[in-house]
Structure 1
Amino acid sequence: MPRKKPSNKIVVQNYQCKSKYGYIWVSLDEPLHDIPNFPEAENPLFYQIHEFMEVWNCSGLRILENGLDNSHFSFVHRKTFGLENPAPAPARYEDTDTGFNMYSNVIVNNPGLQKNNLGIESKETTRYMEHNWFIPFGRRMKIQYPNGLIHTIITWATPINERQSLFVQFAFRNDEDCHPNVEDIIAWDRAVTNEDRCVLETTDWNTPLTSNEEFHMASDMPGIKMRRKISAMFSQFDNENRA
């Protein structure tokens, strides 16, 4: 026990923090938005799987724009679920107060381990996908399969410095009655995530926010929308500081 009164010069900086979904969420300043409410967390038909928390050597923007790029499946995920057909699935977008939503139907390979995880025996299946992007580096990806199974992935990339991000991923599923093998589910997501990481850690960490410094194609629209919204957010703060 301390016997002397601490010096007034001893000050510890405190920050706002909340506990939600089994994680501590910290805000270094006044938050722009509250922590998102994921509907699966309140639905008794779903259970949560804690998957990954690790340091990736790339920018958060690279992680998020890759996750919403429908063209990367055939190239990055050739060893897991990517088809050889490189034509990306079309997508529909809607803007939100916290980012945007993206909807698309994607045909994917369904190899051995995933057949067991999904309860689907066909060589191919369809993912009905809903992405919710949260500015700047958060995502909810709801994947629904033809048999009604829903696998929702939550991804957050918190900047550590200019070159590194803390990658956090957890999931929700609605197949608990089928007694799924959670270790196999995590193993599959691990294989998919490793494919992403292998490519992303070769990218330039200094990610431009303008759209004229890199070449783009139609499936890059999510990344372009992210850049526009992040730039608008920075402009908002610049204007407030000048005022």
Structure 2
Amino acid sequence: MKVQDSNVFRRFWYVAMPVSQLDAGPQPFKLFDEELVLWKTPDGQVSALADRCCHRSARLSLGEVVEDRIACPYHGWEFNVSGQCTRIPQMPDHTPGSSCRVRNFQAQVRYGFVWVCLENPLADIPDLPEAVNDEYRVIQEFHEVWDMSLFRLVDNWFDLAHVAFVHRGTQGDITRPVPPEEKLEELPLGVRSSNLVRIANRSEGQAYTGISEQETVRDREVTWYAPNCRKLRIYYPNGLHHIIFTTATPLAEGQILFTQMCIRNDTEAEVPAEAAIAFDRRVTMEDKVILESTLADVPVMPDEKPEQGMRADRAQLMARRKLREIVEQHDERFRRAA
């Protein structure tokens, strides 16, 4: 299964772009084959509309914001944040009817990004209390395109068995390939995994953690918010909290928009943001090389041939089962076949 195979995945929130990008004017964005225009009013209200004028189908993303409306570049028709046409310059005394509109979609600003949901959402955008806690700082890390499947990334978020091999240059130890046991908790729309993990702490990691020993232990908790968000909470023995929040937006078959931030309870003087980003970049790029080599299709549904597995795959299999349950419960096409 690929994320585009079921309409239920249109009912979740996805990051589109940094909200600051809208300062330059309306911006195009495509999600699940829906062509959108994202724009904001002078008071900061963000809107997501279909990127076609209802008059002669010109792209609204080529237009401009006029007060609290977006104006079509072709004939100047103006639309409000809900998609209703409010002014036709060629007919100044005419009030456009309710049918004179373009489709609007739900949009929110959270953590510095515009999030979009195409249908009635099944869940809220994940809450990150640390992001608004004065004892923490937020560091924006990545917002870039990866050529891989969203569901393969979900596998990776829970995969402790790959660390010794893929991350041998940063935090893995090839001589200890057996991952520690983990505690698993099934959530209504997700999975949580927690355990203690011993990792290598080489020179770059020492600068990142403030720990001088060659090894250290992570108190690790991963919370997956189906289908596309992950919060990795890491507590170190010296009191450092390093929290990684990652979200992926499906752009096409085998292509995602990868967005990540980290949240830390230290200061810029202790560990510069540049150093934190550099280490997370090294680790992330080790994953990226492997993940971009995997197949986009992931066996989730009962009629798909399963892949071989091992005991360390328990969390991944729980996540795949959760995806299957979401599809079967909310997509009529698969419910009939279930």
TM range (shorter): over 0.9
Which residue of the partner structure matches residue 224 of structure 1? 317
Which residue identity is paired with 2:123? H
- 5+ long unaligned stretches in structure 2: 1-70, 77-88
From 240, 261, 268, the equivalent of 1:170 is 261
* Amino-acid identity (%): 37
From 102, 106, 119, the equivalent of 1:12 is 102
Q: Does 1:52 align with 2:142?
A: yes
CA RMSD of aligned residues (A): 2.2
Which residue of the partner structure matches residue 97 of structure 1? 188
Deviates more, 1:189-198 or 1:160-169: 160-169
Which residue of the partner structure matches residue 154 of structure 2? 64
Which residue of the partner structure matches residue 145 of structure 1? 236
Superposed CA deviations along residues 130-186 of structure 1, whole A, max 9, x for unmatched, are 111101121000011000101000011111112111111111000117532111110
Which residue of the partner structure matches residue 270 of structure 2? 179
Which residue identity is paired with 1:189? D
Which residue identity is paired with 1:12? V
From 289, 306, 322, the equivalent of 1:213 is 306
Return the offset for 1:98.
2.5
Q: Does 1:37 align with 2:123?
A: no
Return the offset for 1:210.
4.2
Normalising by the residue count of structure 1, what TM-score does the alignment of the two structures yield? Answer: 0.93
> Quick check: which has more Rg, 1 or 2?
2
Normalising by the residue count of structure 2, what TM-score does the alignment of the two structures yield? Answer: 0.68
1:226 partner SS: helix
Instruction: Identify the structure with bigger relative contact order (alpha carbons < 8 Å, sequence gap 6+).
Output: 1
Give me the whole-angstrom Cα distance separating, in 2, the residues matched to 1:41 and 1:192.
Answer: 22
Return the offset for 1:238.
3.2
Contact 2:327 2:334 in 1 (8 A): no
From 173, 191, 198, the equivalent of 1:83 is 173
Return the offset for 1:111.
1.0
Structure 1: 4+ residue segments shifted above 6 A: 6-10, 240-243
Give me the whole-angstrom Cα distance separating, in 1, the residues matched to 2:180 and 2:157.
Answer: 14
Give me the whole-angstrom Cα distance separating, in 2, the residues matched to 1:23 and 1:238.
Answer: 29
Return the offset for 1:207.
1.2
